[in-house]
Amino acid sequence: MDKRRKHIAVLVSGGGTNLQAIIDAVECGKINGDIKLVVSNRKAAYGLERAKNHNIKSLYIRGDGEYSKSYDKKLEEALDKEEIDLIVLAGYLKMISDSLIKKYENRIINIHPSLIPSFCGEGFYGIRVHEKVIEYGVKVSGATTHFVNEVPDGGPIIAQKTVIVDDSDTKEDLQKKVLEVEHKILVESVRDFCDDKLEVVGRKVIKR
């Protein structure tokens, strides 16, 4: 099996706390890989600053309006240049093109702040997810990592971890709880991928 250090790209749109969790894990030797590139579709995303603080190449690509057509090409060129093995979507709020999904089949990992298939898909992102969880009155929520396919939040599930939803929880309280488990399972999923331990069999991801 290929045990060389994997080349990782992390795509962010906001603060990048999940990015930071991966950076920390790489730097302390928990992950057999290196973050070669951090990309954001938002110029003000603090995740870009986190990358710079750790001497990681960072790139802002404008992808709105007239720039949307050229976005995918620029992104793919940047990934090719760094010979990326794994793409991690860490709070990335732009849709991934079908061509990129096909090219990186089972090599794009997303983190979602609910227990998929509940509270996921189009329109379910950020704190809105936790708001809907509380409105519905469920007693357990959590986070999910999955491989990305053409269906929003619809790819094979890698890992899930639960949190208790207390009656007194606000959406902000729940967001904080879930974020803690997001960091944990995202790092574990990236680690397992880089150790060649994940095999996709139909809808199932089997850890070897």
Active site residues: 112
Q: DSSP states of the chain as a string?
A: ---SPEEEEEEESS--HHHHHHHHHHHTT-SSEEEEEEEESSTT-HHHHHHHHTT--EEE---SGGGHHHHHHHHHHHHHHTT-SEEEESS--SPPPHHHHHHTTT-EEEEESS-TTSS-STT--THHHHHHHHHHT-SEEEEEEEE--SSTT-SPEEEEEEEE--TT--HHHHHHHHHHHHHHHHHHHHHHHHTT-EEEETTEEEE-
CB-based contacts of 27, cutoff 8 Å, min separation 6: 54
Question: What single-letter amino acid sits at 113?
Answer: P
